[in-house]
Amino acid sequence: MNARRAAILVTALLASCTHVIVPERPLPPRRSAHDDRRAPDRRPIEDQHAALRLGTPSPAAGAALCRRLQRLVETHRWNMNACPDGLEWRQVGVSALGEPLLIAELGTVDAPLSVLVLSMVHPDEMTPLHATLMLLNRLASAPPTGVRVVVAPLVNPDGLWRKEPSRSNARGVDLNRNFPATDWAPTRHLPWKGKLIADLRRFPGDRPATEPETLFQMALVTMLRPHRIVTLHAPWGLLDYDGPEVGLERAALAREAMRSFMRIRKRPRAHGRVSGSLGSWAGRDHGIPCYTVELPSSHPYDGPRFTPAFWAAFEVLVTP
């Protein structure tokens, strides 16, 4: 991507702030999917975002998010608090429409094991939201020892706060197809354009790493250098794995833990094939074990039913 535009976007995204950050310039309109065939950034991960830093505590933004989430909880009759007391919310930039991009950190800051949890990348998949809110409540009431857990409960706020939640972000991009993985260009467009009518819900963007929400996830991975990444999706009913062979055994254990609560459709695999995905970029390109928990339903009323499956897997994934 253009170096000046990238610098402006990254600076706006990750500047320390307690208020909503407005980018210096509006995001440019999308072009045709075939206008740009430049290769993704293949520099070492440490060099790609060396200047980025974690945002500042943002209690006001966190409180506002919790109020909105609580209304969703009540709408779906989830019988829980959206946010436990005592969470410290930190803002790490803004979405395409200016919504705060927030994280909560639990456990031990200087622990030898760090785990990054990413949820609601696709807001039309509602069961992951229930699982993530339950995770925050459980970890807050019984903080884990020997592990640092950083949770981004709402990666794609613009997609969630629409009248009807959508898979894509405000610019119509699928955030799990927009990472600058080595397999992104030009092959990412081939399966997407392979049908008579392109599936707009899975549009990968005109170039990799064009979306502020993608850069948000990349920044968290770069700054935190997590030992493991856990991401939640629906509705495939599986646990998928991307990363080095060393993580396969743990993926198998997590999968078996889930089996008591849901039918597992697939065994985890060592190499994911979703081009431009988080798993391709973080797991395959940078060797960070990346575990994707796919709950078997995306319907909000199934959240309480399948959250125990996620919790069973998570307990395995945070074990040193």
In a domain, 35, yes or no: no
In a domain, 190, yes or no: yes
How far is the C-alpha of 210 from the C-alpha of 1, rounded, in Å? 8
Predicted confidence band of residue 243 (pLDDT cuts 50, 70, 90): very high
Q: Beta strands 228-233 and 290-294: pairing type?
A: parallel
Residue 26 confidence (pLDDT): 40
Average pLDDT on 149-177 reads: 96
CB 223 within 8 A of CB 52: yes
Looking at the predicted structure, is the pLDDT value of residue 9 above 90?
no
Residue 266 confidence (pLDDT): 53
Predicted confidence band of residue 3 (pLDDT cuts 50, 70, 90): very low
Among 72-86, 97-111, 263-277, 283-297, whose mean pLDDT is lowest? 263-277
Residue 274 confidence (pLDDT): 79
Residue 263 confidence (pLDDT): 80
With 0-12 CB in 10 A as exposed, 13-18 as middle and 19+ as buried, what is 248? middle
Q: Label each residue of the chain as H, E or C.
A: CCHHHHHHHHHHHHCCCCCCCCCCCCCCCCCCCCCCCCCCCCCCHHHHCCCCCCCCECHHHHHHHHHHHHHHHHHCCCCCCCCCCCCCEEEEEECCCCCEEEEEEEECCCCCEEEEEECCCCCCCCHHHHHHHHHHHHHHHCCCCCEEEEEECCCCHHHHCCCCCCCCCCCCCCHHHCCCCCCCCCCCHHHHCCCCCCCHHHCCCCCCCCCHHHHHHHHHHHHHCCCEEEEEECCCCEEEEECCHHHHHHHHHHHHHHHCCCCCCCCCCCCCCCCCCHHHHHHHHCCCCEEEEECCCCCHHHHHHHHHHHHHHHHHHCCC
Average pLDDT on 42-65 reads: 67
Residue 17 confidence (pLDDT): 39
Distances (CA, A) of 62 to 140, 152, 288: 15, 12, 29
How far is the C-alpha of 121 from the C-alpha of 168, rounded, in Å? 8
Residue 96 confidence (pLDDT): 96
| pLDDT (tens digit per residue) in 112-162 | 999 999 999 999 999 999 999 999 999 999 988 899 999 999 999 999 999
In a domain, 205, yes or no: yes
Looking at the predicted structure, is the pLDDT value of residue 14 above 80?
no
Residue 146 confidence (pLDDT): 93
Distances (CA, A) of 286 to 1, 41, 71, 159: 20, 12, 38, 28
Residue 25 confidence (pLDDT): 34
Q: In the chain, what percentage of residues exceed pLDDT 90? A: 67
* Apex 75 CA angle, 73 and 81, nearest 5: 20
In a domain, 112, yes or no: yes
How far is the C-alpha of 257 from the C-alpha of 237, rounded, in Å? 13
In a domain, 259, yes or no: yes
Looking at the predicted structure, is the pLDDT value of residue 46 above 80?
no
Number of domains the chain contains: 1
Sign of CA dihedral 23, 28, 34, 38: negative
Residue written as tokens 């960070």? Answer: 288
Residue 32 confidence (pLDDT): 36
| pLDDT (tens digit per residue) in 30-45 | 333 333 333 444 445 5
- Which tokens go with 153? 């409960």
CB 167 within 8 A of CB 213: no
Owning domain of residue 168: 3-18+43-317
Residue written as tokens 């320390």? Answer: 16
Residue 285 confidence (pLDDT): 95
| pLDDT (tens digit per residue) in 186-207 | 445 555 555 534 556 678 888 9
Count, residues in the chain: 320
Predicted confidence band of residue 262 (pLDDT cuts 50, 70, 90): confident
Mean pLDDT, the chain, integer: 82
- Which tokens go with 110? 């200087």
In a domain, 29, yes or no: no
With 0-12 CB in 10 A as exposed, 13-18 as middle and 19+ as buried, what is 151? buried
In a domain, 31, yes or no: no
Q: What is the CATH number of the domain that holds 289?
A: 3.40.630.10
Residue 184 confidence (pLDDT): 80
In a domain, 169, yes or no: yes
Residue 15 confidence (pLDDT): 47
Q: Beta strands 147-152 and 238-242: pairing type?
A: unpaired
Residue 219 confidence (pLDDT): 95
Predicted confidence band of residue 255 (pLDDT cuts 50, 70, 90): very high
Average pLDDT on 17-42 reads: 37
